[in-house]
Amino acid sequence: MEIAEMAALAVPYIVTAVGAYGAAVWTKTQDAMADETVGWGRRMLQRLGRRAESRAALESAVADVPADGDDADAVAALRMQVRKALAADPELAADIAQMLSTAGAGSQVISGSHIGGDVNQIGSARDVSITGRRGVSIGGDNSGIVSSGDGANNVQFKR
């Protein structure tokens, strides 16, 4: 995997971790209730931060990323610092490549998005029927969130 591609894949995880913890992401310990994306981003940052030569620049770039990750320039600056750290250390690049190969297996990162509408399903279920507003019927097992109705706020934590 190319260094630039690896940095581009890693940064959404890191931005999500920064959004959850702010600049304190460097000192946060494993939170059992943190979602998978936040956990992967934090672990990638911890691994990147072990390289003393790039730690200060990474900390500065992380501090500039707002919690919502909407500042494209700040995210680009963070991506550049990640690229520099990966390019300077083949062992670090191999570690991050390994993390990326297993991060979010079977899941997607959605960052800075809003899912709206009357009926939303996240996950998978057998024999799902969604009919009109607020009409959901599941004839089998559900392995995710099925949401219907006015302004539902769903949060699913994996342990």
pLDDT at site 29: 41
**38/16 Cα distance (integer angstroms):** 6
Q: Which residues of the chain are modeled with pLDDT < 50?
A: 29-34, 106-113, 124-126, 158-159
pLDDT at site 70: 84
Q: CA 45, 50, 56: angle at the middle one, nearest 5?
A: 75
pLDDT at site 136: 61
Describe the chain by its helix, strand, coil percentages, rounded to 5: 50, 10, 40
Give me 141's structure tokens: 């097992």
**DSSP class per residue in 81-146:** HHHHHHHH-HHHHHHHHHHHHHTTTT-----S----SSEEEES-BSSEEE-STT-EEESS-B-SEE
Contact (Cβ atoms closer than 8 angstroms) between residue 6 and residue 86 = yes
**87/89 Cα distance (integer angstroms):** 6
Residues facing residue 137 across a β-bridge: 129
pLDDT at site 40: 81
Identify the three-state secondary structure at position 153: coil
pLDDT tens digit sequence for 15-44? 888 888 777 777 654 443 445 677 788 889
pLDDT at site 151: 56
pLDDT at site 117: 54
Contact (Cβ atoms closer than 8 angstroms) between residue 148 and residue 25 = no
Q: Is the pTM of this model over 0.85?
A: no
Give me 130's structure tokens: 């969604």
